[in-house]
Amino acid sequence: MKKLLPILILLVLTGCPSYVPQPVGPTPVPRDTDACGEAGKNIEALQCLDPRGDPMWTNRNGEKFEETCRKLQEEGGIFLDPKCIASATTCEQITACPPSSATED
């Protein structure tokens, strides 16, 4: 039995599939970050408010939309659609802007 145990362990270990991690794709890079400034100006010009009644052109820390937009786009966590926001003519259109699909392939 003692001679059989190492052979059994060897068979069990060689029979187990090894874990091969799947490669992670590249982080998409937004191409429309340069539109963040115009988007922020448009939100302010339209005087858009969020559902709580706070202005959408600044966050709770007093940071302008342009700064927030650039940070979010560069960090890659959330992709806004500043081109859509910049071209909107109403606040409803701004809130309907989808997340950006303007990324490099």
> pLDDT tens digits, residue range 48-97?
999 999 999 998 889 999 999 988 888 776 778 899 999 999 999 999 98
Out of 10-14, 17-21, 74-78, 79-83, least confident range: 10-14
Residue 103 lies in a domain: no
- The C-alpha angle with vertex 42 and arms to 49 and 63, in degrees rounded to 5, equals 65
Residues 56, 65 contacting (CB under 8 angstroms): yes
In a domain, 105, yes or no: no
Instruction: Determine, yes or no, domain membership for 79.
Output: yes
User: Is residue 37 one of the residues assigned to a domain?
Assistant: yes
Domain membership of residue 10 (yes or no) is no
Q: What phi and psi, each to the nearest 5 degrees, are found at residue 56?
A: -80, -15
pTM confidence score: 0.64
Question: Count of domains in the chain?
Answer: 1
Confidence band of 102 (pLDDT split at 50, 70, 90): very low
Round to whole Å and give the CA distance between 70 and 76: 10
Mean per-residue pLDDT of the chain: 80
Residue 13 domain-assigned (yes or no): no
Task: Please indicate, yes or no, if residue 9 is contained in any of the structural domains.
Answer: no
* Residue span of the structural domain in which 77 resides: 28-96
Is residue 14 a part of any domain in this protein? no
Q: What are phi and psi of 83, to 5 degrees?
A: -65, -40
Q: Where are the alpha helices (DSSP H) in the chain?
A: 4-15, 36-46, 65-75, 82-87, 91-96
